[in-house]
Amino acid sequence: MSVIACASGKGGTGKTTVATNLARLLSANAEVHLLDCDVEGPNDHLFFDFDPTEQEPVEVPLPKVDLERCDGCGVCSDACTFNAISVLGEKVLVFPELCHSCGVCAYVCPRDAVSEEPRTIGVLTHASEGTMIFTGGELFPGEPLAPPIIQAVKKTISPGNITLIDAAPGTSCPTVEAIHGADFCVLVTEPTAFGLGDLQMAVGMGRRLGVPLGIVINRCNLGDDRVEAYCHEEALPILARFPLDLDLARCYARGALVVDHSEDWRDRFRQLGNAIKHGLKGGG
């Protein structure tokens, strides 16, 4: 039905809080699919009692050189823009962490000596709880490339559900990969210098991707009006203003969902849900 992404330039502004609580609230009346696309620091699963869970590896192709056929011509290493393959005398070194799995080396090899074999760089986790389905991705520590994991998570999106995506912080490849193609993107920020600076970059990214945007100002009482003024200038809809609140902070710290514990917060998230629906219809 609709794909809603939660992102932010700055980390620690409350993306996960928004995505998980919204998922819980919306799943009371509809099938919700929550995707954890913050694959370098996936935390959504900590807030639910998923059981049982199922895991599958995420693989990317990595070049493998047949030294019987290779004559050390070096065409592969000249063609590789990522410096992931290099020829030293009779040896060919492949650097898996630099490889983007583009396939150039295999294509250009004049002796057909380069093939590709799968390499595991992370895992997908599938789980469910009532009317909520969950898919999370996790990049193994030491692995650099998050986008293939995020793509694998997003391949599980099925039409008919409400899909909520929790994206990685920042405005570079992993964040872009997560929100690309979404119907709406909620940018969570805070009313501070860092919050505004990073929000401006996130808005630039969202607009470049052509995704409609709405803003949530978290900890709205700890800061000033610079983010409000920016949103006003840029005609960005402010979907919600969440106060700094001890109940919320405590729930978050312990891995609980504040909408399960507080009527006030249920109301706030209900209003946020409505504001997003309004935004999806092009009202925002």
Partner 1 sequence: MRQLVVLSGKGGTGKTSITASFATLSKDALVVADCDVDAPDLHFLLAPEIQEEHPFVASGLPEIDGRKCIACGRCIQFCRFDAIYFDYQIDDIACEGCGLCAHVCPEAAITMRPKVSGHWYESMTAYGPMVHARLDFGEGNSGKLVTQVKEQGRKIAEASNRHLLLIDGPAGTGCPVIAALSGATEALLVAEPSISGLHDLKKIVAVCRHFDVPVGICINRHDIDSTYTECIQSMADMESIPVVGHVPYDENVTWAQLEGQTIVNYDEGPAATAIRTLWAALSNGELEAT
Least distance between partner 1 and beta carbon 249 (Å): 7
Least distance between partner 1 and beta carbon 222 (Å): 5
Instruction: Report the helix count and the strand count for the chain, using DSSP H and E.
Output: 9, 11
Find out whether the peptide bond into 110 is cis, omega within 30 degrees of 0.
Answer: no
The residues that touch partner 1, with contacts defined as CB under 8 A, are 9-13, 16, 40-41, 43, 46, 79, 81-82, 97, 100-104, 107-108, 139, 141-146, 168-176, 180, 192-194, 197-198, 201, 204-205, 207-209, 222-224, 249-250, 252-255
Q: Is 45 left (phi over 0), alpha (psi -120 to 50) or beta?
A: alpha
d(CA 174, CA 149): 9
d(CA 145, CA 126): 21
| Residue closer to partner 1 (CB basis): 214 or 223 | 223
Q: Where are the alpha helices (DSSP H) in 66-118?
A: 75-79, 104-108
| Residue closer to partner 1 (CB basis): 88 or 249 | 249
| Residue closer to partner 1 (CB basis): 89 or 142 | 142
| Residue closer to partner 1 (CB basis): 176 or 239 | 176
Least distance between partner 1 and beta carbon 284 (Å): 20
3-state DSSP assignment of residue 138:
strand
d(CA 62, CA 97): 10
Which residue type occupies 46? L
Least distance between partner 1 and beta carbon 85 (Å): 12
Least distance between partner 1 and beta carbon 212 (Å): 16
| Residue closer to partner 1 (CB basis): 162 or 206 | 206
